[in-house]
Structure 1
Amino acid sequence: MEKEVEIRQHNALTNARYDYSELQLDLLFFIISKLRKDQKTSLYELPIKELSLLTGKQYHLPYLRQATEGLGSRMFEVEDDKEYRQIWMFQQIRYLKGQGIIEIKLTENILPYLFELKDNFTSYTLAAALRLSSKYAKRIYQYCSQWKDLGETKKYDLQDFKKMLGLLDDKGNEKMKQIKELRERVLDIAVKQINEHTELHVSYKLEKRVRTFKNVVFTVKPQALAQTIPFDLVATAQDLPGVQQSHYNNAARILDELRITDPKHRQTILSSAAHVAEVNRYNHDLKTGKVKASSNPGGLLLVKLGLVAAKTAKAPTA
């Protein structure tokens, strides 16, 4: 049975201040997913082909090297009641030529935040985190995951929230000063992506004090996840322009689940980027209850794709 990989990290890392790109966050998630309680080593290997299977993206060496160079130079800023700490996560990064593997050596100072979790940790799924394309959505997904058992996050002071996302530095340099810009470029996009691609359904509220927005708080509810990306996903040889490999694989698997086995229908669907997108969208709507088709979901999909007429649609045979 395919199993979704869960990531666990210390809440101090969830709430730390750091500014990573989308690719850097994906590498970070991938690293954390490799951690094992019984293997407290500081050296980990990241097979890039495995990451590609999970995300459906191709990773070229120059971009990877640029991303890991940034990982090495950036720090986590962690603060509690006793102290304020600046921590560097990576001691060394090596590329093993001809093997497609990046070897990561972690610093000793970061290890307690990765292994000594006790009850002070955030859990979220690797596939959901990788599906999000906005770097801000990835971070906000982590925040919401930390509070998912309570149904609502704490009230984040807006200035602190911006610092956590890397939108505001200690010198007062701010990337998005206008609240409208923060809504449109960060919050609205993050909420849309989280609701479409993860097991959480979130919304947010900006709270004013007098005439100025001071806080942001998120409501968090569980929802049916449309389609997980299994950790051991095996890619097909299909290369459909404009379609991520993971989306193609999901569509093929959905057709199997709906018992759509007719070779002509499958060929028509899986050779069209629009059809592949519609299959994934239909499956999401089916799993979340937006579409009701308990008796013949496969037939309804064929109708929606225009491959059969509504009156002639029959339940696919096993």
Structure 2
Amino acid sequence: SFTIKINETAKPYFFDLKNNFTALQLKSVLNCSSKYAKRLYAIACQWRSIGTKRFEIPELKKMLGLIDKKGNEQFERISDFKIKVLDIARKQISENTDIELDYELKKKGREFYWITLHINSQKFKQLEIDFEKPINIQKFASKLVTYGFSQEQAELIAGKEKEKDFDILITELNEKIRQRKLKIENSVGYLVGIYQKKGILPVKN
């Protein structure tokens, strides 16, 4: 057994968490490869019940880590900010999470100064059952899609691999990553490679 003591100064903040917190889906965060998409998803989750949130562009850039304490700024040109941050984040969040995100830029004088985030909660589609195929295989394929496989890849794997073997594979990989025995930059690409070596997925020339 062990005992934990919370610092008296910090204690009020821990109790405050019961009423002030942001709920987000961890899998949704992990499915976004852009660090700006991850941060914007968390911000969007804070305002999802309202549906919209307006920021000064410099304020949002600071929240995204694009302006440091010394005032050094990344993506100063609005076109670079849109292409390299906002557009990528909008696409990844809308495709991979339970939120559909859009944005609108407005000028103050001759320069863009305000950004309004438009946030719509979206429910994932219910699994459509094809009664000509085994339901357990369809459920497994749907699960594989959530891990980042395409529908075609998921169906090929589900038709030849057992779900319990896939679960064992994921558990073993997670353990190797946790022990720092393995470093994976692209988890989906790594898994695709495994099933290509098994001969389940075709190798692209």
Q: Which range moves more in the overlay, 127-136 or 111-120?
A: 111-120
Query: Which secondary structure state, in structure 2, belongs to the residue aligned with residue 190 of structure 1?
Result: helix
Match of residue 104 from structure 2:
205
Contact 1:206 1:214 in 2 (8 A): yes
**Where does the alignment leave 5 or more consecutive residues of structure 1 unmatched?**
1-39, 43-105, 253-266, 275-318
Q: Cα gap change, 1:129/1:209 in structure 2, threshold over 3 Å: closer, same or farther?
A: same
| Runs of 4+ more than 4 Å apart | 106-115, 226-229, 245-248
| Structure 2 residues without counterparts, runs of 5 or longer | 126-144, 148-165, 174-185
Contact persistence 1:206–1:216 (CA under 8 A):
yes
Structure showing the higher strand proportion among its residues:
1
2:188 is matched with: 244
**2:163 match:** none
Instruction: Specify the alignment match of 2:75 in structure 1.
Output: 176
Matched residues, percent identical? 35
Q: How many Å apart are 1:166 and its aligned residue?
A: 1.1
Structure 2 partner of 1:119: 19
Do structure 1's residue 234 and structure 2's residue 142 form an aligned pair?
A: no
Aligned length: 148
Q: Given the alignment of the two structures, is residue 195 of structure 1 paired with residue 94 of structure 2, yes or no? A: yes
Query: Does residue 224 of the first structure (1) align with residue 123 of the second (2)?
Result: yes
Quote the offset at 1:247 in angstroms: 6.4
Q: What TM-score, normalized to structure 1?
A: 0.40
Q: CA deviation at 1:111?
A: 6.8
DSSP 3-state at the match of 2:24: strand
- Cα deviation code 1:99-141 (max 9, x no counterpart): xxxxxxx998777656532332211011111111111100000
Distance change (3 Å), C-alpha of 1:130 and 1:210:
same
Q: Per residue, is there more helix in 1 or in 2? A: 2
Cα distance between partner residues in 1 of 2:27 and 2:52 = 23
CA deviation string 1:229-248 (max 9, x = no partner):
5xxx82438x9xx8727965
Report the AA paired with residue 122 of structure 1: T
TM-score, length-scaled by structure 2: 0.59
For 1:199 and 1:273, the matched residues in 2 are separated by 32
The superposition leaves residues 198-256 of structure 1 with CA deviations (integer Å, 9 ceiling, x where unpaired) of: 01111001111121111111111122336545xxx82438x9xx8727965xxx9xxxx
Structure 2 residue identity aligned to 1:188: D
Residue in 1 that maps onto 2:181: none
The structure with higher relative contact order (CA 8 Å, sep 6+) is 1
Which of 127, 130, 135 is the aligned partner of 2:30?
A: 130
Aligned residue number for residue 272 of structure 1: 202
List aligned pairs for 1:1-318, cutoff 5 A.
Answer: 116-153=16-53, 155-225=54-124, 228=146, 234-236=167-169, 244=188, 270-272=200-202
